Amino acid sequence: MLRIGSLSLETPLLLAPIAGHCDLAFRILCREQGGVGLASTDLLNSRAILNGSARTLELAATNDFDSPCGMQLYGNDQDPLPEAACWAIDHGAKLIDINMGCPVDKVAKKHGGSLLLRDCASTQRLTERIVEAVRKHSGDRVPVTAKMRLGWDREHFVAPKLARDLEQIGIQAVTVHGRWTVQFFSGKADWDRIGEVVAAVGSIPVIGNGDVTEPQHALDLMRITGCAGVMVGRGALRTPWIFRQAFEMMKLGSSSTPDSVFEPSFLYKCQMIRRHIELLTEHSPCERHALHTMRSRIAWYSKTMGPIKPLKEAIRTATTLTEMVVAIEEWIEIAKNRAGPLGLPEASMSQ
Ligand SMILES: Cc1cc2nc3c(=O)[nH]c(=O)nc-3n(C[C@H](O)[C@H](O)[C@H](O)COP(=O)(O)O)c2cc1C
């Protein structure tokens, strides 16, 4: 459905890296829901990888249930990104993505991220070094991609030219988040400008990103911009099944949500939360971390679940993962009595 260099993705839908959210447990959860063609690690500091920083190695963790997995690196021309990319390939990366969009001061003031949009010549040199190293190390097996914003601000719409120049250097796909760096994450993503990047590149796929919060939006973004794939960020935190729904609609060629497109029940959502707790138990560095993660995630999930204040409270105040499981099990029982036995798809429970 979407080819990036030598990598064939089963669907053109990608889970966005979202630092602090799209960890291994969440990536597996989204994949289990269906429809995810590719998911990536959150941004990884190249020096921290090579220094063996425990936290960064945790962030880089992947496994067979998380395949194909991209690893996203950030840094600038002075950083050992080519070496870190080779490390990533040796540790399971099926694609290397270069972060050219992070607006956060810690990254964009000196290290990289959106800073790379300000000096396109040095970004090209950096990219050339990474592409060359990855080509040699993987024997052309692992594609290198870039994820960028439109530009630093409205006066600097660099994405079309930069994407075209990077294609000539050997980048095999570009993801465009349709915002300016100065916007951070607010305001609307400008899909028309994403379309201008699509028009500017030669033959590599452009992946559109920004404000896809309903399955229909993924189809709209492809239609409006001509992009070959769609990356979903915050929409997936709220509805991790959005990929499956969007993919079903793509297969049906539908312009509105047909009845046959899976719509999760309340019971399904409760079971999915339990599954997320299970995955966190398995893949978090410690129980405290898992508890902290689920406390922040319940607010996202609750957005589509109606009045569940007691469940939110129980998740928020649980002091162990066992307590969390007990709380969600109670709600699963309530939901079963209320809604009939529509559970998770079988594939989700197969691990
Ligand atoms: C809290 C947060 C953390 C993010 N971390 C990353 C990151 O590590 N790497 C990256 O390329 N983009 C990161 N992003 C940007 C997203 O990948 C995505 O481009 C952006 O949220 C727009 O897509 P959306 O409207 O679907 O959320 C982050 C966004 C948010 C809100």
Q: How far is CA 39 from the centre of its chain?
A: 5
Asked if 213 and 67 sit in the same domain, the reply is: yes
Tell me: the pLDDT tens digits for 311-350? 999 999 999 999 999 999 999 998 998 754 444 443 333 3
Q: Which ligand 1 atom minimizes the distance to the CA of 212?
A: 26
Q: How far apart are CA 142 and CA 126, in angstroms?
A: 17
Any domain includes 259 = no
Q: What is the CATH number of the domain that holds 103?
A: 3.20.20.70
Residue at which a domain ends, from 217, 252, 287: 252
Do 244 and 326 sit in the same domain of this protein? no
Which residue CA neighbors atom 28 of ligand 1 most closely?
Answer: 18
pLDDT digit string, tens, across residues 68-117 = 999 999 999 999 999 999 999 999 999 999 999 999 988 888 779 999 99
173 shares a domain with 49:
yes
In a shared domain, residues 144 and 275: no
* Number of domains, the chain: 2
Give tens-digit pLDDT for 27-78: 999 999 999 999 999 999 999 999 999 999 999 999 999 999 999 999 999 9
Q: How do residues 165-192 score in pLDDT, each as one tens digit?
A: 999 999 999 999 999 999 999 999 999 9
Q: Say if residue 244 is in the same domain as residue 272.
A: no
For residue 224, report the distance from its CA to the centre of ligand 1, in Å: 21
CA-closest residue to ligand 1 atom 10: 17
- Give the side-chain half-sphere CA count within 13 A for 188: 4
User: Ligand 1 atom 18: the closest Cα is on which residue?
Assistant: 233
Task: Name every protein residue with a CB atom under 6 angstroms from any ligand 1 atom.
Answer: 16-19, 42-43, 72, 99, 101-102, 147, 177, 185, 209-212, 232-235
- Same domain flag for 235 and 294: no
pTM of the model: 0.95
Residue 156 shares a structural domain with residue 284? no
Contact status, residue 219 vs residue 182, Cβ threshold 8 Å: no
Question: Quick one: 201 and 281 in the same domain?
Answer: no
Say if residue 8 is in the same domain as residue 133.
yes
- Tell me the residue range of the domain where 57 lies: 2-252
**CA–centroid distance, residue 346 to ligand 1 (Å):** 30
Domain finish residue from 252, 275, 310:
252
Q: What is the mean pLDDT of the chain?
A: 94
102 assigned to active site: yes
CB atoms within 10 A of CB 334: 14
From 201, 223, 252, the end of a domain falls on 252
